[in-house]
Amino acid sequence: MKAMIFIALGGALGSILRYGLILLFQKSGWTISTTPTFLANIIGCFLLGTLLSLALKEGRISEEYKLFLSTGFCGGLTTFSTFTGENYYFLSQKNFPAFILYASATFIFGLLFFWLGTISVKN
């Protein structure tokens, strides 16, 4: 039960941050609707890479904190379903350049920022 509480709290905070990114971009007049999802996913990749690297170093992070941040916060912040829906929209509009750019950039930058997260704790 304790683990579920940590996951729920982290998930709530991650979801609120993702929604905050959406509002921030809407209020700024930014017209590319995929930007908040892209940033949320890239930030989540970096945090998860950092977290998993810390977790591998024995004693660096508790199990509760790992669940709070990984399954909870990163799970609530990132969103594969929205990413998929946005890509489906590009495909349904036959906007293949936008689909290829968004899908590949998210994958490439996701891996890059996950890796940057892992090396950020090696020093």
CB 102 within 8 A of CB 87: yes
Q: Give the pLDDT confidence score for residue 20 in this predicted structure.
A: 95
Q: Distance of CA 121 to CAs 10, 60, 99, 110, 111, Å?
A: 21, 10, 34, 18, 16
Residue 2 CA from chain centroid, whole number: 24
Q: How would residue 32 be classed by pLDDT, with cut points 50, 70 and 90?
A: confident
Residue 33 has pLDDT above 90, yes or no: no
**Range name among 13-27, 55-69, 94-108 with the lowest pLDDT average:** 55-69
* pLDDT confidence bin for 40, thresholds 50/70/90: very high
How does the average pLDDT of the chain come out, rounded?
Answer: 92
Give yes or no for residue 56 having a pLDDT over 80. Answer: no
Among 30, 21, 34, smallest CA distance to 83 is for 34
- Yes or no: say if 71 and 59 are a contact pair by the CB < 8 Å rule: no
The string of pLDDT tens digits covering residues 66-111 is 899 999 999 999 989 999 999 999 999 999 999 999 999 999 999 9
Residue 123 confidence (pLDDT)? 59
Q: How far apart are CA 49 and CA 91, in angstroms?
A: 30
Which pTM was predicted? 0.85
Domain ranges of the chain: 2-119
DSSP secondary structure code for residue 122 in this structure: -
> What pLDDT does residue 7 have?
96
